[in-house]
Structure 1
Amino acid sequence: MNIRGVIFDKDGTLFDFQSTWGIWTAQILVRIAGSDGVLLGQLARALGYDTEARRVQPGSVIVAGTPMEIAAVIHGYMPAMSQTQIFDWLNKEAETAPQVLVTDLHRLTAELRRINLGLCVMTNDAENPARAHLASVEALDLFDFVIGSDSGFGAKPDAAPLLALADKMDIPAAACVMVGDSTHDLRAGRAAGMRVVAVLTGLAEVAELAPLADAVLPDVSYLPAWISAQNS
């Protein structure tokens, strides 16, 4: 079956992960811990963040976790705030996180539209920050639908949010491809009966992604050529 729809992950796929969330996490840690170096170090370890390198580490909850899961970790160090309050605060802070694109999304989506593909984004981030991030680079209108982990369809690695997007596009799941940088993305796509493509602009490496993927690409700019080859 030819590919007719593409569902993109956001962070680490459309946006470079460390350039965005490495900087953001450092800012969040300082806002929580202030001058308390011990608290900052404890929270950094809990979140999987290397304060010296200023980099999120592989396996961190920040990589593929939902904002509520991140809030649950932080709540252990901020008991004066409820988990829901921390969740709301994180989402507000995330809306202004610096965004560094992996490639020119206008050019990429134009190439994909030329071969008549539906285009969506499904992120384990919350929907409002996701929309804000895409809007900040004038890319929100390039996609048919954008949903997050709080949009009512669940979160990856569950298949449900991907199946919901296939339904919204009116395209069979088997005619869609899920593109992402983490094993959560690939497992969700496979569970949904989609083809799955991994990209290397997140934290996971080839050895981790290749066993789960139909293809591993350097970044999403290589996707139009790969889809054209599959459909030929």
Structure 2
Amino acid sequence: MQMTREETKWHGDEDTKGGWYVLAHGDEYFTSRHSRIEFVSFEYRISSLAWLRGRITKSVDVELAELRAHRKSGAHRVPGWEGESDLMLDESETVLDTDVRQISAGVIVVAAIAALESLMNQMLNQPNDERVHKAGFTQKARELAARWSAVIDRTELDEHISWLRERRNSFAHRLIDDVDRQWRTSTPPWNFDDEMAGETLARASAVAWILEAGWEHYLGAQGRFTGI
């Protein structure tokens, strides 16, 4: 007998989030209302990123706890190299709590936007849309918003797109140590952390909801079946 999705959520082991399978991790963010392949693919990507976010956060927390336990017990110290041992432990803690957390959050930002761009490209299906495929994230969103202005809240869409774009660009610049000093001083000091990763998934999903409404409107106008 085949299990329902609700049943499969809780059929797992200790390596899953409360026994959930990977796809269930995305349920709090995005579930396609019409089950069209374009949006199901996006749903899978968001679920994967939500799973990755949880696993990275848990892994960092566990390793930090282990390092702090070593510090308390002194198990990390090599006889004759106590100072160096302490320094290496300090540096490991710092890297985990800063670089690893920041890079993992930034990767989720970049990957979520890439998932949205892939989704947009599939809906940019007009004869001359190849040029828009090569355009940036913002231009693609604007093009679709213009086409579906009757059903899209342009203000809400623009706010989400701007938030996502600014943080993606900020992350890219942070990876370049010799970035223009003027750019650094004009950019807000955002914290690339688990909270930002979660908000990124929520905002990317909000954009997908908006796009799904526009896509269904377009298909309906074409006389095509509007899904389930």
If the TM-score is normalised by the length of the shorter chain, which range does it land in? under 0.3
Could you tell me the TM-score, scaled by structure 1's length? Answer: 0.26
Higher strand proportion (structure 1 or 2): 1
Flag the structure with larger Rg.
Answer: 2
Could you tell me the TM-score, scaled by structure 2's length? Answer: 0.27
Higher helix proportion (structure 1 or 2): 2
